[in-house]
Structure 1
Amino acid sequence: MKLTRLNIKEFKNLINFNLDFTDKNGITVLIGNNGCGKSNIIEAISGIFRSLYLITDSSKRVDFDFELDYSINIAETNHEIKVVFTDNTFTITSNQDGNITQANTLQYLPSQLVALYSGEESRLWKNYYESFYLNYNTAIISNTKNIESSQQMLYINKYYWDIALLVMLANDIDLSGIIGDITLDTIDITFNLANINRFAEQNPNETLNFIGGLSQEKEWMSTDLEEFKTFADFETAIRMFKFLSVSYLPKTESNKLITNINLTFSNGTETNSFSEGEKKKILLKLVMDVLADDKSLVLLDEPDSHIHIAHKKQIKEMIENSERESILTTHSPTLMNVFDEHLVYLQNGEIKGRENAEILENIAGDEMSISEQQLILNTTRHIFLVEGKTDIIYMENALKTLGDAKYDTIENNFEYIPTGGASGLNLFIDKFKPKDNQLIIAIVDNDTAGNTELKKIIDDEKAFDDKDYFKLKTSANTYLLKLPRPSTITSDQYEIEDYLPRKRFLEISDDLIKTFKSLKGFNLKKDTMKKKLASKCEKGSYGKDDFLEFKKLFDLILEIKTN
């Protein structure tokens, strides 16, 4: 199953929303700040497929118009499916079979929608998934459905931890990358014999046969993994999952066949002792390797939450290796970085930021990693445009070392974007649009390169006659700022390094001269000096007196911010 396109006319903040999946290679990663629309897309897709799975029940239909295109393999033939829902009416067509009637719709739908949800919010579960769970459990235990049938909409959360571990370990699925080299020592299961016997008399079925084989008419079993396999007649991992889920997870005690599952491992730990990150990866492994098939659609809500940054790349591997059509949301810069080609940037219910991302990539190049770019794209803080990373080092260390409370608003409320030199300013200012109430201040050296670039942006040669900054009329809240002249400089040309005392330049020159061995090997270039100054600054070698000239720059920034 492969998604192609989704268009939503109006659902919450998704207005005339169009999402193209064709270049995502089966994995779509939704990113953006809280309220940008990520969760609304997940909810809309859940609502759409609930409407389709229950197409004959008009009361279960979504309350918004939409179009959905996807491809699915049916009987070795690929079908391009188009679903149009408008004015509470479905029109469904296949490129192979033409118009599809409501009675025949199910065979053209994904085998199931599997959602892995990380939060405590139950609205998605209550509104879209719970009824499928309750109806499926009732049908299986009452023998009106075969265990091979699909639940269609499956919602996985923390209640599946023990089942997930037991299913995968019993089926020899490798979990060493998640739980290490520990092994499962003891399996303790408590049964409700009264319920087992009651259902066996009323509706004998495969689930009861499975549970009966485990219980051996006893209320409790304690065994190891190998012995458990001899008792459990399950054939496949997915069958075992269904048997255990139907028996253990019903909330109503009168429907429970299993009342408790407890797993103890070789190091003495139990399931609850695993970290939140480990448990999240266990459930993701269950979804991608056991539950979802090639006709499934998988929805993953922040699958990397609670997972250590060093292990986040495992998330990509687990999702990619499964080759299941997946949509996931994330805030993680690391996950954004590894999934770069799959990203969809959202802002206030609209797909935006791809242009901004391309601008950042073009102007920053190697100056910023993809994860750093995503932090900038998603920030609501103000932005400094600076010529290079060394400018960031100077400004950040000056603010920190000066320790002046009046500059706290600068230190705490601005992000930095290195433009790779003055030449990147024009592209950024022309194309990159600030968010509401977001201030962008472009800081340029007062040198030939900086002044040349400023002339490309503004025509008025006298713009900086009265002060060292200028507000652009063409871009709200965007200012150009030329470095104010340091008191130690009389020249018309100077750079941010000139805010440091002369003695710091002389020290580096002396250090370089001391390494002199031959004229051929001697090197005292401007870039070398800049790198040495930045390195010393970053290491904390300079004190408050070394940064006093930076106050002129910071005071000017405060003036802009106040105005």
Structure 2
Amino acid sequence: MRLKRLYLSKYKNLNDFALNFTGSSFIDVFVGKNGTGKSNMFEALIEIFRQLYEKDFQVGFDFELEYEIDGSDHFVGWEWIAERYYKTEDGERKDVKKVAKEDLPDNVILYYSGHNEKVARLIAEYETEFKRTLKVANEGDTREFIGIGKTYKSLLLSVLLLQPKGCKARKFICDKLGIDSVGEELHLVLKRPRYARQKDYDVDPFVPESRYWKALGITQTFLDHLDTVAKSKSERIRDEGYIPQGKEEYKDRYELFLDLKDFQKKFKKVSSQELFSNLDNLKTIEMLDHISLAIKLKDGTEIDVDQFSDGQFQSIYIYTVVELFRGKNCLTLLDEPDSFLHPEWQFDFLKQVFEIADDSVVNNHVLVTSHSAITLIPHQEKKINIFNLKKKKIVCHPIEKKKAIDTLSKNMIQYREDEKILSIIKEVQVEHKPVFFTEGSTDPKILKTAWRKLYDTRPPFHILYAFSCDYLRRLLQDERVLNEAKGMPIFGMFDFDKAYNEWKHILGDKTMLESDPYKGLATQVGTKNSYALMLPVPEVPEIERQVIKDKPTKTTFAHNSRMGIEHLFYGAPGIPEYFKSVDQPGGGTLLEVSANKTKFAEKIVPAIAPEHFEVFRPMFEFIKSKI
């Protein structure tokens, strides 16, 4: 499935609007200022396809749409006049009801975060109509429109994690989210669905036909298949199976604890697409109340699948959609899905999609609107579609990617085809020096000051901000960065807090190159000329208690530590006044920086006496030994 041309007579601010989809990638990105019509184009496409899918839905504007499915071109047009007819490309008039189902995409998938009320309403209207028939739906009667928001986090992740260990998509999700292993059971909670509100649908344990509130069609078929899966074994006492309502409203539900290995065996021939579709049907009729898998992260933390943050979910959302609907003819609309992502996740947002688009045919045409210059950098297309107002008319036309990035960033981001964020590659190539990446934005200023205080020279390496601990880890492991380093080593310094997990991920089961936290823990990235360092701990009692668990053995609190680069100066005269004591749940306090960090790095740190920078010396000496 691929759109080729769209024409709208008048839809909101899109008047006499024409757009040709000329890119070669299966992803088309649209940028532009607020109010230029990006979201309106998505709304119009939703209405057009609703008219094509549904018998009784009609749009209130003229349109023409050309698209390709499986190598065949299709043209549909609608003129909003009294007769209300379709006009084919050769001029023949056809009734709206005669558009063949096989000539339409299998699905239109939409991600919406709630900021566009019109989009949410259009999808809600469609789903309401679909719910009326789903109880008795037969094979093939799955919904064409799939609106996915934050409530789909557990469902999307669970479907992919239920796949065998060797599955490429499952491995990607585990690597991206730091998952070490998945538990041994699948937990499902099913509640009374929307169609079964009347008493006639009550479950009677002695009447088999009443199981699952008398579900029929494909819903019943899937639930019958689910019943063949063995129950997981547990020594815990818990409610299982059907639980009558009684006096508690939260009951009248099924609690299913299924053995994961047996589930994978029984559903071996069920594709991830089909599994998602079946579970999505249960969700749509409001029967699926909860789905979860126990997960163990690489740092040893045990969580449920729904405990990942919304940001983490958004960072893999487009990947899961492309994978789950691989091979199907789909149109996917993502309206500013990167708006609230951290910069390093924005940078990876499109790049990760191409990692799964290997030799397989991608029939999913993905349209993305964005405001982020960072999101555009790894996009494979040389040109980007931009919405502009010209002569009181909204137009969309392709421009060079560099110009689009400059427009969005107002020239704050310098772009080259072979550059990464903050001109990382350029910095390596301009002067043959190693690169020292930092997690914090003000760390480079402090490190440069520290080097001058200790050695009275300029640092023999470039110091660059790498946005976050997650992105810093991946930079240290990135072969492209290592190749551009021309044989010179690269270094990265992590804060002693939750960033410890990223550092520990690099360490793995290797022996540390430096195991003394007072000198700065250090490890090598595999056998590469790349080194990951932890902030050294100052011998200041107030700071030690936030990092050091047992001083004689130099054991730390690992990821539960709380120390940033500013803490290293706490022992200097006058510095404690730039910190505040914060109460912690369950008792105790932590010292946190209360001063503006930029001002602290630029004004306060340079005035500190040289002896208070000695804490950096062991780490700097380690770096010197590797250059």
TM range (shorter): 0.5 to 0.7
Residue of structure 1 in register with 2:6 after alignment = 6
Identical-residue share of aligned pairs (%): 21
Aligned mates of 2:408, 2:181 — CA distance in 1? 40
Residue of structure 2 in register with 1:136 after alignment = 130
Q: Say if 2:43 and 2:118, in contact at 8 Å, map to a contact too.
A: no
- The offset of 1:111, in angstroms, is 1.8
Residue of structure 2 in register with 1:262 after alignment = 292
Residue of structure 1 in register with 2:60 after alignment = 63
Aligned mates of 2:23, 2:302 — CA distance in 1? 47
Verify: 1:191 aligned to 2:231, yes or no.
no
- The offset of 1:353, in angstroms, is 7.6
Evaluate the alpha carbon distance shift between residue 334 and residue 53 of structure 1 in structure 2; reply closer, same or farther with a 3 A threshold.
Answer: same
- The offset of 1:100, in angstroms, is 4.9
Evaluate the alpha carbon distance shift between residue 203 and residue 187 of structure 1 in structure 2; reply closer, same or farther with a 3 A threshold.
Answer: closer
Evaluate the alpha carbon distance shift between residue 319 and residue 65 of structure 1 in structure 2; reply closer, same or farther with a 3 A threshold.
Answer: farther
- The offset of 1:42, in angstroms, is 0.7
Aligned mates of 2:213, 2:290 — CA distance in 1? 23
Q: Say if 1:6 and 1:20, in contact at 8 Å, map to a contact too.
A: yes
Evaluate the alpha carbon distance shift between residue 272 and residue 180 of structure 1 in structure 2; reply closer, same or farther with a 3 A threshold.
Answer: same
Structure 2 alignment gaps of length 5 or more: 193-201, 229-240, 243-253, 414-601, 604-627
Q: Say if 1:28 and 1:342, in contact at 8 Å, map to a contact too.
A: no
Q: Equivalent residues in 2 for 1:45-56 (5 A)?
A: 45-54=45-54, 56=55
Letter in 1 for 2:65: L
Verify: 1:90 aligned to 2:85, yes or no.
yes
Letter in 1 for 2:222: F
Aligned mates of 1:272, 1:229 — CA distance in 2? 21
- The offset of 1:28, in angstroms, is 2.0
Residue of structure 2 in register with 1:344 after alignment = 385
Deviations 1:38-60 (A, max 9, x none): 11111111111111212x42xx2
Q: Say if 2:158 and 2:305, in contact at 8 Å, map to a contact too.
A: no
Match of 2:151 among 153, 156, 159: 159
Match of 1:235 among 260, 270, 284: 270
**Secondary structure of 2:341's aligned partner:** coil
Q: Say if 1:118 and 1:305, in contact at 8 Å, map to a contact too.
A: no
Match of 2:370 among 320, 327, 330: 330
Deviations 1:307-342 (A, max 9, x none): 332233433244442452121111111122233535
Residue of structure 2 in register with 1:439 after alignment = none
Q: Equivalent residues in 2 for 1:202-213 (5 A)?
A: 202=214, 204-213=216-225
**Secondary structure of 2:141's aligned partner:** coil
Letter in 2 for 1:157: G
Evaluate the alpha carbon distance shift between residue 378 and residue 130 of structure 1 in structure 2; reply closer, same or farther with a 3 A threshold.
Answer: farther
Verify: 1:20 aligned to 2:20, yes or no.
yes
**Secondary structure of 2:35's aligned partner:** coil
Match of 1:107 among 88, 99, 102: 102
Aligned mates of 2:93, 2:256 — CA distance in 1? 54
Aligned mates of 1:294, 1:99 — CA distance in 2? 29
- The offset of 1:14, in angstroms, is 0.8
Deviations 1:207-263 (A, max 9, x none): 224324435754323345323324557712122112212223434xxxx2x432233
**Secondary structure of 1:298's aligned partner:** strand
Normalised by the length of structure 1, the TM-score is 0.56
Aligned mates of 1:378, 1:116 — CA distance in 2? 29
Aligned mates of 2:64, 2:76 — CA distance in 1? 7
Aligned mates of 2:283, 2:34 — CA distance in 1? 35
Letter in 1 for 2:275: M
Q: Say if 2:105 and 2:330, in contact at 8 Å, map to a contact too.
A: yes
Deviations 1:90-135 (A, max 9, x none): 324267x976553430332222211112334443122x22233234
Residue of structure 2 in register with 1:37 after alignment = 37
Letter in 1 for 2:23: D
Match of 1:220 among 236, 243, 255: 255
Aligned mates of 1:303, 1:118 — CA distance in 2? 8
Q: Equivalent residues in 2 for 1:289-300 (5 A)?
A: 289-291=323-325, 293-300=327-334
Q: Say if 1:5 and 1:19, in contact at 8 Å, map to a contact too.
A: yes
Evaluate the alpha carbon distance shift between residue 303 and residue 225 of structure 1 in structure 2; reply closer, same or farther with a 3 A threshold.
Answer: farther
Evaluate the alpha carbon distance shift between residue 378 and residue 98 of structure 1 in structure 2; reply closer, same or farther with a 3 A threshold.
Answer: farther
Evaluate the alpha carbon distance shift between residue 292 and residue 63 of structure 1 in structure 2; reply closer, same or farther with a 3 A threshold.
Answer: farther
**Secondary structure of 1:269's aligned partner:** strand
Q: Equivalent residues in 2 for 1:524-539 (5 A)?
A: none
Normalised by the length of structure 2, the TM-score is 0.51
Evaluate the alpha carbon distance shift between residue 168 and residue 104 of structure 1 in structure 2; reply closer, same or farther with a 3 A threshold.
Answer: same
- The offset of 1:12, in angstroms, is 1.0
Evaluate the alpha carbon distance shift between residue 66 and residue 269 of structure 1 in structure 2; reply closer, same or farther with a 3 A threshold.
Answer: same
Aligned mates of 1:121, 1:375 — CA distance in 2? 24
Evaluate the alpha carbon distance shift between residue 100 and residue 26 of structure 1 in structure 2; reply closer, same or farther with a 3 A threshold.
Answer: farther
Residue of structure 2 in register with 1:168 after alignment = 160
Higher helix share: 1
Q: CA RMSD in A?
A: 3.5
Verify: 1:179 aligned to 2:159, yes or no.
no
Evaluate the alpha carbon distance shift between residue 301 and residue 211 of structure 1 in structure 2; reply closer, same or farther with a 3 A threshold.
Answer: same
Residue of structure 2 in register with 1:375 after alignment = 409
Deviations 1:20-53 (A, max 9, x none): 1123543221111211111111111111111121
Verify: 1:288 aligned to 2:335, yes or no.
no
Q: Say if 2:7 and 2:19, in contact at 8 Å, map to a contact too.
A: yes
Letter in 1 for 2:69: I
Evaluate the alpha carbon distance shift between residue 156 and residue 250 of structure 1 in structure 2; reply closer, same or farther with a 3 A threshold.
Answer: same
Aligned mates of 2:412, 2:21 — CA distance in 1? 22
Residue of structure 2 in register with 1:487 after alignment = none
Structure 1 alignment gaps of length 5 or more: 362-369, 380-538, 541-563
Aligned mates of 2:132, 2:181 — CA distance in 1? 35
Q: Say if 2:330 and 2:363, in contact at 8 Å, map to a contact too.
A: no
Aligned mates of 1:120, 1:225 — CA distance in 2? 37
